Amino acid sequence: MAEVYLYDQDYQSTITVSETGLELVNRHRDDTGTDLVLYVTFVARDLD
């Protein structure tokens, strides 16, 4: 969402969304003791 706002040059909304996102990332770290990790799974043919 931040990327979309940034592409649209809506800087105020990008700032709001990025700050909210960073807050969520930090809260996740505080709650679980780990940094946020995103897993992306490829289909088997991509690994060949």
Residue number, 31 or 42, with CB nearest to another protein: 42
Q: Is there binding between residue 8 and another protein (CB under 8 A)?
A: no
Q: Is there binding between residue 3 and another protein (CB under 8 A)?
A: yes
* Selection from 8, 9, 12 nearest residue 20 by Cα: 12
Residue 11 CA, distance from chain mean position = 17
Residue number, 31 or 40, with CB nearest to another protein: 40
Footprint on residues 23-42 left by another protein (CB under 8 A): 25, 35-42
